[in-house]
Structure 1
Amino acid sequence: MSLAGKTLFISGGSRGIGLTIALRAARDGANVAIAAKTAEPHPKLPGTIHTAAGDIEAAGGKALPILCDIRSEEQVEEAVAATVEAFGGIDICINNASAIQLTGTLQTDMKRYDLMHQVNARGTFLVSKTCIPHLKKAENPHILSLAPPLDMKAKWFKNHVAYSMAKFGMSMCTLGMSAEFAADGIAVNALWPLTAIDTAAVRNVLGGEAMAKVCRTPEIVADAAHAIFSRPARECTGNFFIDEMVLREEGVMDFAKYAPGVTGPLAGDFFVPDEVLEETDTEVRMIV
């Protein structure tokens, strides 16, 4: 199924996984609203809402760059309204924006705690809530959050409880909203990578170039997201998808293109349940 003519609203899509999902949709001819905070070049991070819009247009889509801090209810409402005005509606809402700090309890200052919860959990709730009235009018509406499976094991919390709480807050939005809006035919799902993905977060927070060399590219997440959006919304909701498993269901068996040059084990991502690792023959080295 093509996403031609569909409208995607993506939070934090000026770089990384969010932008790659946008570019995959743009190749189909989709409309993409990029709602993110970066309007001017950042000294350490690539991309702005304007460079992202240029890339989307070059890929074959239509783009609407929107300066938006998803911690602000007013800005989110204005961003969604601008998207509807520009493209006539919203078909897909993608909660991609996220804040990360992998520190223990005593090392986590409350300013950073608040940021992670405001962006991750509250931001996902707010963006979803604001898009839902428009999604109810769409033909095949989807909400997709870049959030992990709800695997309640202490190992996912003990070294970075504040981040885990904020990230699982996104997952709980998925769990609750999928049931709440099932009768409206809105698919509400989460997607998470099996392996670490080569993004600015990995390079700046998790281990730099050494970690990047054992990661997959964001294209695997984008291809998985595209496959999810192509599924009938009423038959595809309440799932905590893992990127590789989605693509295996689509018949993909060769994943080498997503990890060019990697010959050994890949770095496994946080929050991947043990039973998922048992289902794949991908050689993964967990970083927890």
Structure 2
Amino acid sequence: MKEVIMSSDLRARTALITGGSRGIGREIALALARSGANVVIAAKTAESNERLPGTIHTVAEEIEAAGGKALALQVDVRDEVAIAEAIGATVDVFGGLDILVNNASAISPTGLLETPLKRYDLLMDVNTRGTYAAMHHALPHLLRSPNPHVLTLSPPLPRRGVWFGKYMAYAMSKYGMTHCALGVAEEFRDRGVASNALWPRTMISTDAVRVHYPDDYEQGRHPRIMADAAMRIFAKRSNAFTGQCLIDEAFLRDEGVTDFEAYAVTPGIALAEDILME
């Protein structure tokens, strides 16, 4: 049976996005703002960087210009106290929390011998532990929302060990985020909390990709595709759509979207698949 779709009007709803100062997080923040939501940007970057533009403050300004209300908070998701305080500030300012987006992430496409323990710890602390901590502190408030959603930007669980063999530490940390998403879905299913994972089929051409992987940038899609998918997820009834590991293109096709060329950074060329895609 097809799930009931709610209105895309999110006025008076409050979302907190970790790591939302640029890229996919920023795009989701702006989409939420255009629907009238209150948006909290909880990220590390508070000062501009000429190589990677965007800070919590510039995104907050964009949110306000797009029609939402913004709160910019400098947060390192490795710091549990900072996460708890950010969620507390969100509730104090906006009166509650309806949506949590676990977007903050560290990347290291390296094998075992090229990934020292310091880097392993960073991946686990930001990706898996940071996601768990945000969920742990957000859930008491989400349980009071009429339509609570947790969205975690992480891949479907693999059927084979391909990516563990290529990028063991990174894969472990990202699949750990998915374990968190599925765990919340099952534990809080009967209490009406939706928890889903979302991952791109193709490379998403963010500023970070442009700087660190310039050869791949033209072969990717605009982060807007992930924001469009996220908004359709948030519009669903939380008690009817949970425990899903979604791929952006497949999900949007199921939702009736047919024009994917519009998302291409360079229309007409072959797209690069994102890593961790089987």
Same fold (TM over 0.5): yes
Alignment partner, residue 244 of structure 1: 249
2:147 to 140, 157, 161: 140
1:270 matches 2:261: no
For each residue in 1:242-271, what CA deviation from the matched residue of structure 2 results, as whole angstroms up to 9, or x when unmatched? 111221122111111101432121111122
Q: Does the 8 Å CA contact 2:18/2:103 hold for their aligned counterparts? A: yes
Q: Does the 8 Å CA contact 2:128/2:173 hold for their aligned counterparts? A: yes
Alignment partner, residue 282 of structure 1: none
Q: What SS does structure 2 have at the residue aligned with 1:40?
A: coil
Q: Does the 8 Å CA contact 2:229/2:252 hold for their aligned counterparts? A: yes
Letter paired with 1:170: M
Q: What SS does structure 1 have at the residue aligned with 2:190?
A: coil
Letter paired with 1:270: I
Q: How does 1:21-40 map to 2 (within 5 A)?
A: 21-40=28-47
1:161 matches 2:168: yes
Deviates more, 1:166-175 or 1:256-265: 256-265
Letter paired with 1:78: E
Give the C-alpha shift of residue 152 in structure 1: 3.7
Letter paired with 2:210: R
Distance 2:84 2:142 in 1: 14
Distance 1:44 1:118 in 2: 25
Name the count of aligned residue pairs: 271
Q: Does the 8 Å CA contact 1:193/1:269 hold for their aligned counterparts? A: yes
Question: Highest relative contact order (Cα 8 Å, sep 6+), 1 or 2?
Answer: 2
1:14 to 21, 40, 48: 21
Long gaps (5+) in structure 1? 274-288
Give the C-alpha shift of residue 175 in structure 1: 1.5
Distance 1:200 1:116 in 2: 20
1:73 to 68, 75, 80: 80
Deviates more, 1:259-268 or 1:219-228: 259-268
Alignment partner, residue 56 of structure 2: 49
Distance 2:262 2:124 in 1: 35
Q: Does the 8 Å CA contact 1:227/1:246 hold for their aligned counterparts? A: no
Give the C-alpha shift of residue 43 in structure 1: 4.1
Give the C-alpha shift of residue 168 in structure 1: 0.6
Alignment partner, residue 197 of structure 2: 190
Letter paired with 1:146: L
Letter paired with 1:159: K
Distance 2:232 2:88 in 1: 27
1:179 matches 2:179: no
For each residue in 1:4-43, what CA deviation from the matched residue of structure 2 results, as whole angstroms up to 9, or x when unmatched? 2210000000100000000001001110000001111124
Distance 1:152 1:246 in 2: 20
Distance 2:86 2:14 in 1: 13
Q: What SS does structure 1 have at the residue aligned with 2:73?
A: strand
Letter paired with 1:154: G
Give the C-alpha shift of residue 188 in structure 1: 0.5
Give the C-alpha shift of residue 60 in structure 1: 0.7
Distance 1:133 1:243 in 2: 29
Letter paired with 1:30: A
Letter paired with 1:252: V
1:256 matches 2:261: yes
1:95 to 102, 117, 136: 102
Change in Cα spacing, 1:262 to 1:109, as seen in structure 2 (3 Å) is same
Letter paired with 1:20: E
Q: Does the 8 Å CA contact 2:52/2:208 hold for their aligned counterparts? A: no
Q: Does the 8 Å CA contact 1:8/1:33 hold for their aligned counterparts? A: yes
Letter paired with 1:250: E
